[in-house]
């Protein structure tokens, strides 16, 4: 095989296969990177990664025609972005792109021979000297325009290593791997994994990092480069092993873009002064015979790698650009929204007052909607995420719905736990009332969450409760006729039976104070999501004091509305009289049925008693005195027969007192529940929630107080400035992309749909990033 073939650097057309629009495509991405867009949006790029001494620098030198340091004692200590562009004149621009901040241009050179000096200047700017052993995340950008270079952009990462040495620190090991993983994880990065044949490909660090689950486990973005094959030339076993790998016969090592093999100059050959032309001749000879002779020609040699990378880069950028546009628009929309959420700059006192007035207006309008249950503010009421208090479909932000359900739960608790004794009446009923049913299974979750700790009533039989309360009735007798009731005795029984009311109501009111305070905090936090300092100031100085005061007010109102146990408080006398009469008659009928059942057979005397009047049930409904006389007759008959029921005394005064108390209890229970909900909760607490913030109080503040309350924190100012800078960069980047797309209609176009907070402006989702 001849050795006079021109080198790639002599075959300029090989580097100029791309049309002008394709060069513009590369320039567009480079310009985006120069603007700093790459820190915000993943940009399509080819990154070069490999172990130290894997031959990365030799690969870069061969691709660019520029000599980079290749000594094992000299390693790259920072990412280096190499942008190659074909142009009529040679020009080299060197700059630093820091992790934070703007690009800093260091130097401009006019000859590729000056690149080593330019790199040294960059090292000095980064603080690197001969004694430095650490790695640096800042990027050194070298943009080379020359007649004999291809249109290509590569990012060379620091070599990976495992052992500390005199040239590299232990800390640098982590930095190198962290940088590699950071760049390799970016879904638009094609990974040029340089593997030295002098090592074990399975254990190669670049391949191991690429195969991580979080990086590219299927090697779908990887092009493998095998170098230093000449080192194992005489080792037939190792040569065959790498030939098998390069041919894709190892199923665990099949990168999507295959394997490409190179034969670069060794350090010794470089020291002997061999040129690029010599390198290309040796490579041609090496692959022209021996085990690599029949390996696919498109996968070996630097010349074919040039073409492969140019096409790969071009296709990759063309495929990615519409998605890049989408990402830029999305990032731009987010930063625009973030700037709006921060509000205008608050340097002047008038700015602070305007800012506070805006907060008050938003808070009042939204709180009013929540109190009324008209949930129109979509972003607050509709985009519900975490729910700090609610159960099921309830959410504290939908305050009226939440409060109504809590009131229903409170009513259920009052009906089921408001009485001290759950009396098992002789007629089989154990309910506190004959017509109120406390079972509400639809609100069981709320009851379990907020009321389960409350004490249940004490179960007791009717005879036992009579025995308990008999002494109270006897001890309260006054001037009433025998068999009649004393109001003092009834009130004593009521006081004991209703004793849980205050505790249950206080628990409910405290819960409402807690819930409404959480609502107010959620609303304020929503309004001031981007300003935690002002949020905390207003919460501490306004929200918290408001609810502390309201807690005292609802407790005072509760004391006011609790029924008196010292005097009658009756509003609906006719209703109470009717209900008392009905209950008394029902008791007599129940007693008669029990006694008749025990008697089994009526005596002659009982029959005559019945015949003397009307049928017993109808007579009792008209005249309870008849029922009392009849009960006496029945008991006398049972006593003569020796039945224990006949010996039980009938204390009609005690029974009537209990009946009166139960009617009084039921009557006041309903009133009390309504008063707790309306007079205490609604009037004292909930109706005033929209009034928590008042701009008049802000208007009376002096400058010192205003700045303490809502002055803009330095970090907020910095955040706004950073967002404005990024917004301007994104706008410029978006315009660059659109200009290119307008000029080159052949590029596949996707109309991105900008999303803010997960929702598309046009109502549909944007394009999904596909795996390459």
Domain termination site, one of 589, 615, 650: 650
Give me the chain's average pLDDT, please: 79
CB-CB contact of 226 with 206 (8 Å): no
pLDDT(10) > 80 = no
* Domain annotation covers residue 457: yes
* Domain annotation covers residue 769: no
Q: How far is CA 563 from the centre of its chain?
A: 48
Mean pLDDT in residue range 627-636 = 60
Least-confidence region, from 70-74, 562-566, 636-640, 740-744:
70-74
- Looking at residue 5, its pLDDT comes to 39
pLDDT(311) > 80 = yes
- Looking at residue 269, its pLDDT comes to 86
Mean pLDDT in residue range 532-547 = 94
- Looking at residue 484, its pLDDT comes to 62
Residue 85 belongs to domain with CATH number: 3.40.50.300
- Of 465 and 387, the structure prediction assigns the larger pLDDT to 465
- Of 105 and 375, the structure prediction assigns the larger pLDDT to 375
DSSP labels, 345-397: ---SHHHHHHHHHHHHHHHHHHHHHHHHT----HHHHTS----SS--TT--TT
Specify the 3-state DSSP secondary structure of 225.
strand
Least-confidence region, from 25-29, 74-78, 590-594:
590-594
Digit-coded pLDDT (tens) for 358-413: 999 999 999 999 999 988 877 888 766 555 565 555 688 999 999 999 999 999 99
The Cβ of residue 455 has, within 10 Å, a number of other Cβ atoms equal to 10
pLDDT(91) > 70 = yes
pLDDT band per the 50, 70, 90 thresholds, residue 647: very low
* Domain annotation covers residue 113: yes
* Domain annotation covers residue 349: no
3-state helix, strand, coil in the chain (%, to 5): 55, 10, 35
Q: Are residues 94 and 170 in the same domain?
A: yes
- Looking at residue 362, its pLDDT comes to 94
Per-range mean pLDDT, top range of 437-441, 547-551, 605-609: 547-551
Mean pLDDT in residue range 530-557 = 94
| End-to-end CA gap in the chain | 39
- Looking at residue 422, its pLDDT comes to 87
Q: Are residues 86 and 176 in the same domain?
A: yes
pLDDT band per the 50, 70, 90 thresholds, residue 85: confident
Least-confidence region, from 221-225, 266-270, 315-319, 402-406:
266-270
pLDDT(597) > 60 = no
pLDDT(637) > 90 = no
User: Which residue range forms the structural domain that includes residue 85?
Assistant: 8-327
CB-CB contact of 366 with 380 (8 Å): yes
* Domain annotation covers residue 740: no
Q: Are residues 301 and 380 in the same domain?
A: no
- Looking at residue 748, its pLDDT comes to 45
pLDDT band per the 50, 70, 90 thresholds, residue 108: confident
In this prediction, what percent of the chain has a pLDDT beyond 70? 74
- Of 718 and 487, the structure prediction assigns the larger pLDDT to 718
- Looking at residue 301, its pLDDT comes to 94
The Cβ of residue 425 has, within 10 Å, a number of other Cβ atoms equal to 17
- Looking at residue 433, its pLDDT comes to 44
* Domain annotation covers residue 405: yes
Q: Which residues, 6 or more positions from 528, have their beta carbon under 8 angstroms from its beta carbon? A: 359, 534, 535, 538
- Of 566 and 83, the structure prediction assigns the larger pLDDT to 83
Please list the residues that pair with 423 across neighbouring strands: 460
Nearest Cα neighbor of 667 from 755, 751, 590, 577 is: 577
pLDDT(19) > 70 = no
- Looking at residue 12, its pLDDT comes to 41
Domain termination site, one of 303, 327, 351: 327
pLDDT(598) > 60 = no
- Looking at residue 427, its pLDDT comes to 58
Token pair listed for 512: 């409402």
Q: Are residues 317 and 387 in the same domain?
A: no
Q: Are residues 308 and 454 in the same domain?
A: no
| 301: region left, alpha or beta (phi > 0 left; psi from -120 to 50 alpha) | left
pLDDT(143) > 60 = yes
- Looking at residue 343, its pLDDT comes to 79
Distance between CA atoms of residues 464 and 423, nearest Å: 9
Q: Which residues, 6 or more positions from 354, have their beta carbon under 8 angstroms from its beta carbon? A: 344
- Looking at residue 754, its pLDDT comes to 39
Q: Are residues 315 and 375 in the same domain?
A: no
- Looking at residue 389, its pLDDT comes to 62
pLDDT(717) > 80 = yes
Alpha helices for 600-651 (secondary structure H)? 604-612, 616-622, 624-640, 644-647
pLDDT band per the 50, 70, 90 thresholds, residue 622: low
Compute the CA torsion angle 165, 171, 174, 179 (nearest 10 deg).
-100
pLDDT band per the 50, 70, 90 thresholds, residue 437: very low
pLDDT band per the 50, 70, 90 thresholds, residue 617: low
Token pair listed for 366: 């939204």
Q: Which H or E run contains 590? A: helix 573-599
DSSP labels, 432-486: SSSS-----GGGHHHHHHHTTTSPPPEEEEHHHHHHHHHHHHHHT--SPPTT---
Q: Are residues 39 and 63 in the same domain?
A: yes
Mean pLDDT in residue range 59-81 = 72
Q: Are residues 413 and 267 in the same domain?
A: no
CB-CB contact of 631 with 590 (8 Å): no
In this prediction, what percent of the chain has a pLDDT beyond 90? 35
Q: Are residues 404 and 550 in the same domain?
A: yes
Tally of domains within the chain: 3
Nearest Cα neighbor of 316 from 738, 733, 748, 17 is: 748
- Looking at residue 629, its pLDDT comes to 61
Least-confidence region, from 219-233, 425-439, 711-725:
425-439
Q: Are residues 315 and 400 in the same domain?
A: no
Distance between CA atoms of residues 747 and 741, nearest Å: 7
- Looking at residue 764, its pLDDT comes to 32
Q: Are residues 520 and 605 in the same domain?
A: no
Confidence (pTM)? 0.59
Digit-coded pLDDT (tens) for 679-696: 999 999 999 999 999 988
pLDDT(765) > 60 = no
- Looking at residue 309, its pLDDT comes to 92
CB-CB contact of 584 with 656 (8 Å): yes
Q: Are residues 529 and 628 in the same domain?
A: no
Q: Is 45 exposed, middle or buried (0-12, 13-18, 19+ CB in 10 A)?
A: buried
pLDDT band per the 50, 70, 90 thresholds, residue 138: confident
- Of 460 and 242, the structure prediction assigns the larger pLDDT to 242
* Domain annotation covers residue 772: no
* Domain annotation covers residue 764: no
Least-confidence region, from 88-102, 112-126, 619-633, 648-662:
619-633
Compute the CA torsion angle 655, 659, 661, 664 (nearest 10 deg).
-160
Token pair listed for 102: 């703007």
pLDDT band per the 50, 70, 90 thresholds, residue 185: very high
């Amino acid at each position: 095989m001849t050795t006079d073939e021109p080198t790639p650097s002599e075959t300029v057309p090989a580097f100029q296969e791309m049309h002008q629009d394709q060069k513009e495509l590369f320039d567009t991405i480079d310009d985006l990177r120069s603007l700093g867009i790459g820190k915000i949006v993943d940009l399509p790029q080819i990154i070069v990664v490999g172990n130290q001494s894997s031959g990365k620098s030799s690969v870069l030198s061969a691709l660019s025609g520029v000599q980079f340091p290749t000594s094992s004692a000299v390693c790259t200590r920072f990412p280096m972005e190499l942008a190659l562009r074909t142009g009529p004149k040679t020009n080299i621009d060197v700059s630093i792109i820091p992790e934070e901040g703007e690009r800093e241009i260091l130097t401009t050179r006019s000859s590729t021979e000056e690149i080593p000096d330019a790199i040294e200047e960059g090292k000095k700017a980064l603080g690197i000297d001969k004694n430095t052993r650490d790695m640096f995340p800042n990027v050194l950008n070298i943009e080379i325009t020359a007649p004999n270079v291809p249109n290509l952009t590569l990012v060379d990462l620091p070599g990976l290593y495992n052992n500390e040495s005199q040239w590299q620190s232990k800390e640098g090991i982590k930095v190198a791997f962290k940088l590699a993983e950071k760049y390799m994880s970016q879904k638009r990065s094609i990974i040029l994994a340089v593997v030295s044949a002098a090592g074990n490909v399975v254990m190669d660090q670049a391949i191991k990092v690429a195969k991580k689950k979080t990086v590219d486990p299927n090697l779908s973005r990887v092009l493998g480069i095998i170098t230093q094959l000449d080192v194992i030339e005489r080792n037939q076993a190792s040569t065959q092993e790498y030939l098998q790998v390069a041919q894709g016969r190892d199923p665990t090592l099949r990168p999507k873009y295959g394997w490409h093999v190179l034969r670069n100059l060794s350090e010794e050959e470089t020291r002997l002064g061999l040129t690029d032309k010599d390198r290309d001749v040796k490579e041609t000879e090496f692959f022209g015979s021996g085990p690599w002779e029949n390996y696919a020609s498109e996968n070996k040699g630097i010349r074919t790698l040039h073409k492969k990378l140019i096409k790969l880069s071009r296709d990759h950028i063309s495929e990615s650009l519409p998605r890049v546009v989408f990402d830029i628009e999305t990032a731009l929309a987010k930063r625009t929204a973030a700037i709006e959420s921060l509000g205008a700059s608050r340097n002047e006192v008038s700015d602070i007052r305007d800012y506070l007035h805006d907060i008050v207006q938003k808070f009042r309008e939204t709180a009013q909607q929540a109190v009324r249950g008209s949930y129109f503010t979509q972003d607050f009421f509709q985009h519900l995420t975490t729910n700090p208090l609610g159960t099921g479909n309830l959410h504290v932000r939908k305050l009226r719905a939440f409060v109504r359900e809590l009131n229903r739960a409170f009513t259920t608790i009052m009906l089921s736990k408001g009485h001290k004794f759950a009396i098992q009446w002789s007629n089989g009923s154990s309910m506190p009332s004959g017509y109120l049913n406390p079972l509400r299974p639809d609100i069981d979750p709320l009851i379990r969450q907020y009321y389960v700790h409350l004490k249940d009533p004490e179960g007791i039989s009717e005879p036992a409760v009579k025995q308990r309360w008999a002494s109270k009735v006897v001890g309260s007798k006054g001037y009433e006729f025998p068999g009649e009731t004393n109001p003092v005795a009834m009130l004593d029984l009521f006081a004991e039976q209703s004793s849980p009311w205050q505790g249950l109501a206080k628990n409910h009111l405290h819960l409402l104070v807690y819930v409404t305070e959480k609502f107010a905090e959620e609303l304020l936090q929503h309004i001031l999501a981007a300003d935690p300092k002002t949020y905390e100031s207003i919460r501490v100085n306004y929200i918290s004091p408001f609810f502390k005061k309201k807690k005292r007010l609802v407790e005072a109102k509760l004391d006011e509305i609790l029924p008196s146990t010292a005097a009658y408080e009756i509003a609906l006398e006719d209703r109470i009289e009717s209900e008392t009469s009905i209950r008394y008659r029902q008791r007599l009928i129940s007693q008669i049925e029990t006694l008749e059942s025990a008697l089994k057979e009526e005596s002659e005397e009982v029959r005559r008693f019945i015949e003397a009047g009307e049928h017993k049930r109808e007579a009792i409904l008209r005249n309870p005195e008849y029922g009392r006389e009849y009960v006496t007759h029945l008991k006398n008959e049972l006593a003569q027969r020796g039945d224990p029921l006949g010996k039980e005394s009938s204390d009609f005064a005690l029974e009537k007192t209990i009946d009166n108390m139960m009617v009084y209890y039921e009557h006041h229970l309903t009133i009390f529940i309504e008063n707790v909900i309306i007079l205490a909760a609604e009037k004292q607490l909930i109706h005033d929630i929209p009034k928590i913030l008042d701009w008049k109080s802000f208007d009376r503040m002096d400058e010192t107080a205003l700045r303490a309350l809502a002055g803009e924190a330095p970090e907020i100012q910095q955040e706004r400035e950073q967002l404005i800078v990024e917004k301007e960069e994104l706008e410029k980047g978006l315009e660059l992309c659109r200009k290119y797309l307008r000029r080159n209609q052949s590029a596949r176009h996707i109309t991105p749909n900008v999303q803010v907070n997960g929702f598309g402006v046009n109502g549909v989702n944007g394009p999904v990033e596909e795996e390459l």
